[in-house]
Amino acid sequence: MGSPNDVEEIKSRLNLVDVVGSYLRLQRAGREYRGLCPFHSERTPSFYVNQEKQLWNCHGCHLGGDLFKFIELIDKTDFRGALDELAKRAGVDLSQTEPATPAERRQQRLRESSLRLNQLAADFYHEVLLNHRAGAAGRSFLEQRQVTAEDIRTFHLGYAPAGTHQDNLVRYLTRHQASGEEITASGLGRADRAGLSDFFRRRLMIPIRDERGRWLGFGGRALGDDRPKYLNTRTTTVFDKSRVLFGLDLAREAIGKERRATLMEGYFDVVGAHRVGVTTAVSTSGTALTEVQVRLLRRFADEVVLCFDGDAAGQRAARSAVDLLGGAGIICRMALLPPGRDPDDLSREDPEGMRRLVEQAPPAWEVLVEQALGEASSQSGGQRQDALRRAMAVLARIPEASLRELYAERVGRRLGIASGRILEDVERGSRTRVPTGAGLESAPVGKSGMGASAHLLGLLSVKPELVAEVGDRYQVSRGDFPDPDDGALFHMMCELAPARLSSESLPVNLAERLRQVSDLELPELEDGPESTRLKRAIEDCVRTMRIELAERTVAELRQRLAGEGHHRQGDRPALVAEMEAVRRRIELLRRGGGLEA
């Protein structure tokens, strides 16, 4: 990952103005430099670089940060990718940073060897598929699925032979100086009493790479009666199927241009989609969508089109995915396939239909609300009550208050019920149950259901050295806390930082609150100060607090608008404009922007 010393050494060698200037034209503006923001469209420059502080900020889209944050966003990579890129520019050799313990050194060695062996294995399987008699079964299968030679090259598909030996790949890797420990640790071999044998046999092989193109593992598709039908590389030092998206290395450029990803379930769904021009397609490697995968999508896309199988299982998976994506602030759409069909079927049978299905996919909440309503109407009697209960269950899952209100109006018009009463019942029901799919770190909670304010205060009470960074980087003040007591507690932390706040010097109410937040179980505290998980937790807390305050503002403006409707119209345009501005701010926050100063 690179030590804190590496990070500081890179910062000491590079000037932020020079790095940013290699991507866009900057002009001096007083003590700062100014240019057109590369992260949103604009005609008047609102992107500023402060050479003295080595920080950048856009007043238009509200993004900002340091050298590493800029490279993460501009190159659409993670911190590790930014570290590698900037280390090359700065001439810093990251390989000289030795892990601290023998166990860490062994882990690093196995990680490096796994990446190398996976690439060797991918080349081996690919060669067998293309040029060996042993790959005939794989070639026949792909021909039946209408997979082209170009598809095979693009996705580097291969075949794991059976043969009379069970160690074809093992012997190949051994000839390339791989040890038995390395082969086993990479997930490519298995050890038993007879020795070391291949993990994959008689399977069509689909290499799985990360967004940077590194070879992490494989999905193996059985061609005969072998079970399971799909077999993935087991969890290794480099591969965890819940943390990777198949095809992202090929799709990231198209996703970055469109700011939209198309999420599918299967490997061949993605292969077929790319063949017909849906080059934003990625898949979950045969697992249910996870929060880690959603965070990965959020780095590249503002919008995700769900294109899952048309059967009942596929639609259940899609409904679950909507909750995770919505909780992350990602705009979600649903492409509805005919029952019993999957994206690969449609790509083969109707390429134009496949492209149109993705391009015209309706909003996911609209689909789910309409499915809940079915054929019900204001004249439907008992059917109307059942439809209302189903629709309210969907409304309760929508995280954005403004969007929830929009669909409540749709439900109300269809069923002949005032939308205000529907929202009251939804709110009343949400207080008595845990909402489904609350997920993703957008609403972090601690013990006893405490929310983002308590979570943030709990982190800062244990790590007071972070107080100044939270104040400077995110411009957090006592006014950002929905609860005045929490704001007062944060203010006192700022006064004493980096010293730790003691309850002895606090009023009774604040002393009790400090005790509560200090007792929270916060796993991020187990990590070091440079931890990505700790940084993400702080960002999510700040984001959730600001969304909560903004939604309160929207509610207050709505009440004022209602009052204006009975009295005068003079202030109404200004109130509407203000409310829309606040809603845009909420959407920006939900997309991950608008946090840093």
Q: What CA–CA distance (Å, rounded) separates 232 from 217?
A: 8
Please tell me the class of the 102-237 domain: alpha beta
pLDDT tens string, the chain, 597 residues long: the values are: 456 678 888 888 888 998 998 888 888 888 899 988 888 877 788 999 998 788 999 998 889 999 999 998 887 777 888 888 898 888 888 766 655 578 767 887 898 899 999 999 999 999 999 999 999 999 999 999 999 999 999 999 999 998 677 899 999 999 999 999 999 999 999 988 878 999 999 999 999 999 878 899 999 999 977 888 999 999 998 999 888 999 999 998 899 888 899 999 999 999 999 999 999 999 997 778 988 898 788 777 889 999 999 888 888 889 999 999 988 778 899 999 988 889 999 999 999 999 999 999 999 999 999 999 888 776 766 788 889 999 999 999 998 888 888 889 889 988 889 988 999 998 887 654 433 333 333 333 333 334 778 888 888 888 888 888 888 788 888 888 878 888 888 888 888 877 787 777 778 878 888 888 887 777 667 656 566 677 778 887 888 888 878 877 877 777 676 665 444 455 677 777 787 788 778 777 766 666 764
Where helices occur in 396-505 by DSSP H, the ranges are 401-415, 419-430, 452-462, 467-474, 484-496
* Structural domain spans, the chain: 4-96, 102-237, 248-362, 367-430, 447-590
Q: What global pTM score does this model have?
A: 0.63
Beta-carbon contacts of 284 under 8 Å, excluding residues fewer than 6 positions away, are 245, 246, 263, 264, 265, 290, 293
Burial 493-503 (b: 16+ CB within 10 A, else e): bbeebeeebee
Please tell me the class of the 447-590 domain: mainly alpha
Helix 452-462 with 508-518: angle, nearest 10 deg: 80
Tokens of 353: 């239909």
Q: Which CATH superfamily is domain 4-96 in?
A: Zinc finger, CHC2-typedomain (3.90.580.10)
Beta-carbon contacts of 468 under 8 Å, excluding residues fewer than 6 positions away, are 494, 497, 498
Q: Which architecture, in CATH terms, is 248-362?
A: 3-Layer(aba) Sandwich (3.40)
Q: What CA–CA distance (Å, rounded) separates 385 from 364?
A: 23
Q: What number of helices (H) and strands (E) belong to the chain? A: 25, 15
> How far separated are the first and last CA of the chain, in Å rounded?
26
Tokens of 6: 């590496």
Beta-carbon contacts of 503 under 8 Å, excluding residues fewer than 6 positions away, are 510, 511, 514, 515
Tokens of 52: 């003295």
Q: How far is CA 508 from the centre of its chain?
A: 41
- The DSSP call for residue 434 is P
Tokens of 76: 């659409």
CB 206 within 8 A of CB 157: yes
What is the residue whose two structure tokens read 């061949």? 268
